[in-house]
Amino acid sequence: MAIIGTDLGLAAEFLAAGELVGMPTETVYGLAGNALDPDAVTKIFKTKNRPSFDPLIVHTSDISKVTDFVEEFPASLRLLAERFWPGPLTLLLPKKKNVPDLVTSGLDTVAVRVPRHELTLRLLRQLPFPLAAPSANPFGYISPTKAVHVNDQLGDKIPYILDGGACEVGLESTIVGMLDGEVTVFRLGGLEVKKIESIVGKVKVMAHSSSNPQSPGMLKSHYAPTKPFLIGNLSSMIKKYQEKEVPFAVLAFRAFFDTVEEGKQVQLSLDGSLEEAAKNLFAAMRTLDSLNVSVILSEYLPDEGLGKAINDRLKRAAAESMDSDEDIRIQTF
């Protein structure tokens, strides 16, 4: 198993030696390696079992360092960086040659972000290279929001996990780039679209198409538990599964269900806070996935603010289960 701790010197040593380290950020935990070292980057893909067509996000400590590996910074994207970094915003920028093609899956843009986590910022400041870091989970599974999640799944494959506590935002970053000269959102995430629009005006959102080759992370089925995961009207789904005598667990926004055992249900935010719900989402999905049940029942959250990004994750977690069960799909929508 990996060592879990807060020793920045040790983490930096492993990274400088081409090893991978679990790294906290405000969004989710990353699986970090030297972004400019093709061998370290190859290790990232292998360790996660991530397909090579899914490019990585490169993390750096300061906006002034971006030009070390980026050709140019379009003015409107620079405005966003100045306003929202450090924070849950990833920008797609034209890459320099020193970024290995593997990092960008052969694309000529590289995804870049300055994370908002003090421990990780201190680590990045110590290092003479940026860190490529996708979420620290096997490809396709629920993203990790605590050090222990990383250890559970990748602990036998990496030497060290930097423990920065529970992630403050809990959802992946919002990905923004230029498309035909327009600022475009490619993945909904921890930074709300309306905050982006308050700086650069109306933007295009392309995050809903599942087949857009520009951003392979928009795969339809992703962030998925191992158990079937269904979304619909919770009261009627609960009734149906009780009648069928199929053991189930419930992931609710704020409602508590008296007819369901307390240990078999999780409320994302009793107060109805979307921020709190985002922060709890992935840990709740992991908890329910570990229970002795046959199916997880869930519901959409209000489709506003962070609720849009949460619903995007729920939809993708459910994609395979809903596609494979025509009967359930018709009943619950």
In the complex, the residues that contact ligand AMP under the rule CB under 6 A are 54-57, 92, 104, 107, 109-111, 134-135, 172, 175, 186-187, 214-218
Q: Which does 86 bind (CB under 5 to 8 A by kind): Mg ion, ligand AMP, none?
A: none
What number of other Cβ atoms are within 10 A of residue 320's Cβ?
16
Chain contacts with Mg ion (rule: CB under 5 A)? 135
CB of 242 to ligand AMP, least distance (A): 37
At closest approach, how far in Å is the CB of 63 from ligand AMP? 18
Minimum Å gap between C-beta 132 and Mg ion is: 13
The CA distance from 282 to 150, in Å, is: 12
Q: Which is nearer to Mg ion, 176 or 328 (CB)?
A: 176
Pairwise CA distance, residues 311 & 267, whole Å:
15
- What kind and span of H or E run contains 90? strand 89-94
Cα–Cα distance for residue pair 55/48, rounded to 1 Å:
13
135 vs 143: CA distance, rounded Å: 6
CB of 143: closest distance to Mg ion in angstroms? 6
332 contacts which partner out of ligand AMP, Mg ion, none, CB within 5 to 8 A by kind? Answer: none
CB nearest Mg ion: which residue? 135
Q: Which does 321 bind (CB under 5 to 8 A by kind): Mg ion, ligand AMP, none?
A: none
Residue nearer to Mg ion on the CB measure, 135 or 215? 135
Provide, rounded to whole angstroms, the least separation between the CB of residue 57 and ligand AMP. Answer: 4
Q: Which residues pair with 162 in a beta bridge?
A: 5
At closest approach, how far in Å is the CB of 236 from ligand AMP?
34
Residue among 187 and 308 whose Cβ is closer to ligand AMP: 187
Residue 142 binds: one of Mg ion, ligand AMP, none (C-beta under 5 to 8 A by kind):
none
**Which one of ligand AMP, Mg ion, none is in contact with 158 (Cβ closer than 5 to 8 A by kind)?**
none
Distance CA 242, CA 219 (A): 33
- Pick 57 or 284: Cβ nearer ligand AMP: 57
Rounded to a whole number of angstroms, the distance between the first and last alpha carbons of the chain is: 43
Query: Distance between CA atoms of 274 and 291, rounded to whole angstroms?
Result: 25
Which pair of structure tokens corresponds to residue 4?
């879990």
Tell me the DSSP string of 245-298: T--EEEEESS---TTS-GGGEEES-TT--HHHHHHHHHHHHHHHHTSS-SEEEE
Q: Which is nearer to ligand AMP, 215 or 311 (CB)?
A: 215
The one of Mg ion, ligand AMP, none whose footprint includes residue 110, by CB under 5 to 8 A per kind, is: ligand AMP
CA distance 167 to 192: 17
Task: State the binding partner of 104 from ligand AMP, Mg ion, none, CB within 5 to 8 A by kind.
Answer: ligand AMP
